[in-house]
Amino acid sequence: MRVAAGEMIPGDGEVIEGIAAVNEAAITGESAPVIRESGGDRSAVTGNTRLVSDWLMVRITSNPGESTLDRMIALVEGAKRQKTPNEVALDILLIGLTLIFLLVVVTLQPFAHFANGSLPLVFLVALLVTLIPTTIGGLLSAIGIAGMDRLVRLNVIAKSGRAVEAAGDVHVLLLDKTGTITFGNRRCTAVYAAPGVSAMQLAEGALFASLADDTAEGKSIVEFLRSLHPQPEPAAELLTGVPFSAETRLSGVDYQGRVFRKGAVDSLLDFVGLKRADLAPALTREIERIAQSGGTPLLVCADGKLLGAIHLKDVVKPGIRERFAELRKLGIRTVMVTGDNPLTAAAIAAEAGVDDVLAEATPEKKLARIRHEQNDGRLVAMCGDGANDAPALAQADVGMAMNDGTQAAREAANMVDLDSDPTKLLDVVQIGKELLVTRGALTTFSIANDVAKYFAILPALFASIYPQLGVLNVMQLSSPQSAILSAIVFNALIIVVLIPLALRGVRVQAASAAALLRRNLLIYGLGGLVVPFVGIKAIDMLLTALHLV
């Protein structure tokens, strides 16, 4: 079938005729169009990519359900987020305590029968309800909602509180290069004049050659040259634009008999009738340096005369290197993921300041890297914006999609950054740590609270059956009925009282894990032991005064 400029390629296939520039950003995340033509190693095209110039005759080779996009959908569906170590530990703790208290309550009736006494079944059921660790279970939702609310203030939408908590334990951060570490659009960063050409001549030629270019690259060239060499510009109606063509790989304008062109090195040399060997050594070195640094060199000519080179580069977002250094201090290792070749990837990684690089990455390679890290016991965060990032975002413990990315990436992730700023992960990690500390503090309080309730209620229940236990009935509760009712009322009220603390959170302090543990045990552990005695006694006195028991 024939696909024209502006149309979408309907499925994976082979080019059998024509040459065109194809925007594959929806699949690869790379903004720069690629050339596809019949024959050779550039004939394969991917479904759901768009032609930006010329036309192609494509033979569709993929069956329904077997395209690249279908394969990525299958990878997303097969991805499964694991439970964090903290979640597993809390589950084990709560299940263990529930079984212990269940066993304790079940054995109370035999003890009572042994002493020729009896406990009403309603007492035992009420005691079990009181002792089961429901406090922390009831507060987990409040803690998660508080974390999501704090992220909203940072313009980050979290789909669950679990994702925010997981961020507090992250060990490895994978970041897609295009649109995440870099802006995703190549920008003009410098121009280099050929020998014998003045800076003004080059600026004029490059500016005129880009005035009719509506691409992000063309606009960045115009913006750069306007700031570098302000000069009068012709009216737009006097310009005859020459759009980019995949066949010529050139673009420019014709203006009052003058011809201005810019384009790929080899294409523009052919246009002016030169070969690479004809270039001045200084200009050749600049072109090679641009390519080796991960940039794209373009040549500019006016009226058949070579003027110089333009340095196009996918610019690293400002401040990102410093933010990565802060992540490193928190013990988080950063990995840049890109489809670029290793040489280009290494140059951008060095500028961005990441710890590791995964070059020539496919969706399968990204997914495998995340699973490898997870199998080694590490929690992984992933930042991405392309459809090819979706499987990795779905598998990662924390998947943050950029708001200006594809819909597939936003749906696969469990967080969306509305400002498309990956360095916000530092703030997300900080909030995650606050949530973990809050949950740890409230868990400590909850366990101490349950233990205290056990020793507060049991002596009152068994005082008549085992008179010796009367010594332990330090609160002198008025009756077993009052003890049970007071404990149930206290159990309900304590959750309400602790909700503000869960929403506000416990602030993280710069201290060792041992120091934080001691602080939690001292404040929340001791508080959990004392508060039930005070609360239950106060409720018992109130119930007695109101003659409710």
DSSP 408-433: HHHHHSSEEETT--GGGHHHHHHHHH
Share of the chain above pLDDT 90, in %: 3
> Stretch 49-77: mean pLDDT, rounded?
74
* 12: in domain: yes
Q: Which one, of 164, 59, 246, lies nearest residue 428 by Cα?
A: 164
Predicted confidence (pLDDT) per residue in 164-186, tens digit? 888 888 889 888 887 778 877 77
- How would residue 266 be classed by pLDDT, with cut points 50, 70 and 90? confident
Q: Please state, rounded to an integer, the average pLDDT across all residues of the chain.
A: 82
Q: Are residues 201 and 290 in the same domain?
A: yes
> Does position 124 have pLDDT exceeding 70, yes or no?
yes
* 79: in domain: no
Q: 398 pairs with which residues across the strands?
A: 381
pLDDT of the residue at 116: 76
* 84: in domain: no
247 is in an annotated binding site: yes
421 is in an annotated binding site: no
The CATH number that applies at residue 8 is 2.70.150.10
- HSE (side-chain half, CA atoms, 13 Å) at 27: 22
- Do 300 and 202 touch, CB atoms closer than 8 A? yes
Helix-then-strand count for the chain, H and E: 19, 19
250 is in an annotated binding site: yes
Q: Which of 12, 54, 169, 176 is catalytic?
A: 176
249 is in an annotated binding site: yes
213 is in an annotated binding site: yes
The residue type at 180: T
- Do 313 and 224 touch, CB atoms closer than 8 A? no
Q: Are residues 296 and 249 in the same domain?
A: yes
The CATH number that applies at residue 202 is 3.40.1110.10
User: Rounded to two decimals, what is the model's pTM?
Assistant: 0.70
389 is in an annotated binding site: yes
* 44: in domain: yes
β-strand pairing of 250-255 with 240-242: antiparallel
385 is in an annotated binding site: yes
Q: Are residues 417 and 459 in the same domain?
A: no
* 118: in domain: yes
Contacts of 202 (CB under 8 A, 6+ apart): 191, 192, 193, 194, 300, 307, 308
- Do 49 and 13 touch, CB atoms closer than 8 A? no
Q: Are residues 330 and 365 in the same domain?
A: yes
* 71: in domain: no
> Does position 64 have pLDDT exceeding 90, yes or no?
no
- How would residue 431 be classed by pLDDT, with cut points 50, 70 and 90? confident
How many domains does one find in the chain? 4
165 is in an annotated binding site: no
Q: Are residues 203 and 307 in the same domain?
A: yes
Hey, what are 404's tokens?
């200006």
pLDDT of the residue at 76: 64
Q: Is residue 176 annotated as a catalytic residue, yes or no?
A: yes
> Does position 510 have pLDDT exceeding 60, yes or no?
no
Query: Which residue has better confidence, 469 or 313?
Result: 313
> CA 415 to CA 182: how far, in whole Å?
20
State phi, psi for 276 to the nearest 5 degrees.
-60, -35
- How would residue 300 be classed by pLDDT, with cut points 50, 70 and 90? very high
Q: Are residues 221 and 308 in the same domain?
A: yes
Predicted confidence (pLDDT) per residue in 312-358, tens digit? 887 888 888 888 888 888 788 999 888 777 877 888 888 888 889 88
Q: Which residue range forms the structural domain that includes residue 15?
A: 2-62
Q: Are residues 249 and 288 in the same domain?
A: yes
- How would residue 301 be classed by pLDDT, with cut points 50, 70 and 90? very high
412 is in an annotated binding site: no
* 82: in domain: no
pLDDT of the residue at 469: 66
Q: Are residues 191 and 246 in the same domain?
A: yes
Hey, what are 104's tokens?
């304790």
The residue type at 474: V
Domain end (from 383, 401, 423): 423
> Stretch 123-134: mean pLDDT, rounded?
80
Q: Are residues 190 and 303 in the same domain?
A: yes
> Stretch 526-547: mean pLDDT, rounded?
85
Q: Are residues 305 and 332 in the same domain?
A: no
248 is in an annotated binding site: yes
Q: Are residues 197 and 51 in the same domain?
A: no
Domain end (from 423, 452, 473): 423
Predicted confidence (pLDDT) per residue in 386-427, tens digit? 777 888 888 888 888 888 777 788 888 888 888 888 778 888
Q: Which one, of 331, 326, 316, lies nearest residue 172 by Cα?
A: 331
CB environment 521-535: b (16+ within 10 A), e (fewer): eeebbebbbebbeeb
Q: Are residues 190 and 165 in the same domain?
A: no
- How would residue 32 be classed by pLDDT, with cut points 50, 70 and 90? low
Hey, what are 262's tokens?
């810019």
β-strand pairing of 258-264 with 250-255: antiparallel
The CATH number that applies at residue 328 is 3.40.50.1000
Domain end (from 423, 441, 470): 423
* 284: in domain: yes
